[in-house]
Amino acid sequence: MKHRLLYNQRNNASLRYFCIGFSSFLYIYIVILSYVSFDDVNSDVCEDKCIYSVHNVEHQETGCDPVQDVEECTCPTSTSPGIFISDHPKELQLLSSPCEKCRRPAPPPKISDLMNDKDLLDSLRLKLDPNHCTIKNWKNFASRWGMSYDELTLLEHRTQGSLSQSPTQEFLLRYNQKTVTELTELCRIYQRIDVLRLLQSWIEKDWPSRWQQAH
């Protein structure tokens, strides 16, 4: 009986020591596993930081922004292969016109561009050709741009009484390489607000569409 009791006590002690040892091993294993996982996370974060630093260094050295994806325009144009706009009806031609991204802004118009618009040129002739003692006309504009008194007199006599020739048209033809903006400045100087509004309206509304059609 005593031998059996002693045997049971030894068995219980061995089982207790085994449980304590297994628990310690399990605890150490969990600690090691968590340390390894945390180290992997740190290494990933470090790698991301290194990559980001390399990109920043390249950006600072080159002075260029990071490359971004550019959305390409896929609108059909007359230069697209296999597409002939002239073969389509008018409705399809309108749909096939370049989109807003493809359109280049119209450059500042010159007087030579203005003279291609017959309606505008006729309106300018009606406003600037007549002689009034209190209203500035083509003579004042031409004199401001450097025409001498003799040249003004000769031009006036040559176009006087002619329906086909206009002193305003001849004056504009001589300075056709100047910009329309410079012509509007003359309108401000001589307070020809009616001509100024006419030119500004043409620059804002008519000129962009005319330039797009020509190009």
Residue 200 sits in the same domain as residue 134: yes
CA geometry: angle 29, 32, 37, nearest 5 deg:
125
Among candidate residues 145, 170, 144, 146, the one with its CA nearest the CA of residue 156: 170
Residue 69 in any domain: the answer is no
Task: Determine, yes or no, domain membership for 16.
Answer: yes
> What is the model's pLDDT at position 50?
46
85-110 confidence digits (pLDDT tens): 444 444 444 444 555 555 678 899 99
Does some domain include residue 138? yes
Query: Is residue 125 included in any domain, yes or no?
Result: yes
Decide if 168 contacts 125 (C-beta within 8 A).
yes
| pLDDT tens digit sequence for 19-52 | 666 666 666 767 565 655 444 545 554 455 444 4
pLDDT digits (tens, 9 = 90+) for 140-169: 999 999 999 999 999 999 988 777 789 999
Shared domain for 95 and 140, answered yes or no, is no
Q: Give the integer Cα–Cα distance in Å for 97 and 91.
A: 10
Residue 209 counted as domain residue = yes
Residue 132 has pLDDT above 80, yes or no: yes
Q: Which H or E element spans position 25?
A: helix 2-62
Do 179 and 198 belong together in one domain?
yes
Domain count, the chain: 3
d(CA 188, CA 180): 13
pLDDT the model gives residue 213: 86
CB 132 within 8 A of CB 122: no
Residues 115, 201: one domain? yes
Q: How many alpha carbons fall within 13 Å on the CB side of residue 102? A: 14
Please give the residue range of the domain that contains residue 149.
111-214
